[in-house]
A and B are shown apart, each in its own frame.
Chain A
Amino acid sequence: MNKLVRFGNATLIFVLVGVIISAIYQQYTKQGPPCPLCLLQRLAMIGVATGAMMNLLWGIRMEHYGMAFLSAILGGSVSVRQILLHICPTFPEFGFPVLGLSLFTWAFIVFVSCILALVLFIFLYRPEKKKIKYTTLYERLAVLALILITIVDMGIVLSECGLGKCPDPPWPPKSVPTALYVPACRAPLAFS
């Protein structure tokens, strides 16, 4: 059963790496530079994956799940904040929707799914006297993918923000006429 849990942790890392890769793809093909809240969501995804990585390399422990939970809750809060910023019906969308939902809505779904998956792993885990000391090729690949995506993300942030703060997305966006805004729903300075 614990092999299944380890396999689940490695799969969780692969899924999160895939989500970050698709976000980078969206960024370069359609959307432009990532917003500060989007970067925080990516960081939280890396945090969840790092918790799973600890499980793979150090053995399964509740502290590692705790780390992953904290990251998932933080990332979920950030994405909820961004969803609430765009909740007004006349408020313009930020970026291009994927399958009808914005990227930050998908991020929220990912964080909730992560929490559910982590709970499932905890339920399935059975403490054993004989700890698994080795890592399979699949698990090693997951760890490698996570380290590589962190380096890539770091390079992207360094190239776009430099060593200072990241630039705000343009507000109001040029694509939407100003007459469409409802003043009560408008965000004060930046919208993401």
Chain B
Amino acid sequence: MIGIFTLFLVIQGLVFFRIRRWAFILFFLNLILMAIAFYLRATTQIDIRL
């Protein structure tokens, strides 16, 4: 979880400094990580170590 939070902070920094491409890529990566975390939690009750 801490990794996803940190990644969001990085994305906000990138948005702030107007680095467009990496902000989009990291945003998508973060959404995928969140979806994986949700899937693992829903199916195996395992909390993702991120």
Contacts and interface: CB of A to CB of B under 8 A. Distances in A.
A165 B25 CA distance: 25
Interface residues on A, range: 35 or more
A55 to B, nearest CB: 10
Given A40-B37, A74-B34, A74-B35, A53 B15 contact: yes
Interface of B is mostly: helix
B9 A147 contact: yes
B1 A58 contact: no
Interface in B29-44: 30-31, 34-35, 37-38, 41-42
Going nearest first, the 9 A-B pairs with the smallest beta carbon separation are: A165-B47, A154-B5, A189-B45, A36-B47, A165-B49, A150-B9, A157-B2, A190-B45, A39-B1
21 contacts: A36-B1, A36-B41, A39-B1, A40-B37, A43-B1, A43-B30, A46-B5, A47-B30, A47-B31, A57-B16, A67-B31, A74-B34, A147-B12, A150-B5, A153-B5, A154-B5, A154-B6, A154-B9, A157-B2, A166-B1, A168-B47
